[in-house]
Amino acid sequence: MLTILTNIDNNLFSFRPMPDITWQKGTLNKGTRNLVNGPKYVMSNFNKRLTIKNLNTADNGNYVCTISRAANSKIHQATLTVIETPVIKDLYPANQVRHIGNFTILTCMVTGTFSNARFSVNWYRNGVRLSQSSRITMRYRTHGGYRNYTLNVTKLNKDVDSGMYQCFAKNDGGEDMAYTAVNVQSKSAQIYINRLSSSELL
């Protein structure tokens, strides 16, 4: 819920006629729509106060307050930006086993407000933040309303790369975290048995 309060001197309301205060959403040069009292918008205190309930990103935009009294009017405007807290929808694959020298790719699926909100996604292994290197690459792709962040680790080392991997997503609205495990193991020795023919046994 958000409340917008006009900066109006209360002494104005001791006179008659009282000023007429209206609220609109939009821009004056491109068109606006009037806001009315209801489940979404609540205007109180002689319409000086506008409360917007159940905020979401659809409420982003410009809000116009018009104060009219007799032949005079004043217009005040404010821009509202709603920041959607990041949510990690999935981190996959889960708890995988890989062999030494192989590679692993982890994918972190994130929703939220990505622009103008200091958005970031960071990867950690056993609590230590990872950085790009010759073996580690990080990328992302946008798909509709979410992003897939990938962590690619090559030439896996059992002592270095085994452990708990964490994906942290953060913006000005909050943060979210998910984790998965990677277990790097030695390759099992392979035993080959050749079947001998009866003539070879003689």
Give the residue from 55, 80, 105 where a domain finishes.
80
The whole-number pLDDT of residue 202 equals 54
Using CA atoms of 160, 95, 150, 108 in order, give the dihedral in degrees to the nearest 10.
-130
Among the ranges given (5-19, 46-60, 142-156), the one the predictor scored with the smallest mean pLDDT: 5-19
Instruction: Answer whether residue 171 shows pLDDT above 80.
Output: yes
Residue bearing the bigger pLDDT, 62 or 46: 62
- The neighbour count for residue 142, using CB atoms within 10 Å, is 9
- Domain check: are 96 and 14 in the same one? no
Instruction: Answer whether residue 5 shows pLDDT above 70.
Output: no
The whole-number pLDDT of residue 11 equals 46
- Domain check: are 93 and 168 in the same one? yes
Among the ranges given (34-43, 90-99, 148-157, 187-196), the one the predictor scored with the smallest mean pLDDT: 187-196
CATH of the domain at 35: 2.60.40.10
In-domain check, residue 180: yes
In the block, tokens 């807290």 appear at 85
Domain count along the chain: 2
Tokens of 158: 């059992």
Instruction: Answer whether residue 9 shows pLDDT above 60.
Output: no
Residue bearing the bigger pLDDT, 26 or 4: 26
Instruction: Answer whether residue 77 shows pLDDT above 90.
Output: yes
Bridge partners for 79 per DSSP: 62
- Domain check: are 119 and 159 in the same one? yes
- Domain check: are 153 and 137 in the same one? yes
* CA-to-CA separations, 197 to 143, 200, 201, in angstroms, rounded: 59, 5, 7
In-domain check, residue 112: yes
In-domain check, residue 102: yes
Instruction: Answer whether residue 88 shows pLDDT above 60.
Output: yes
The whole-number pLDDT of residue 12 equals 44
pTM over 0.75: no
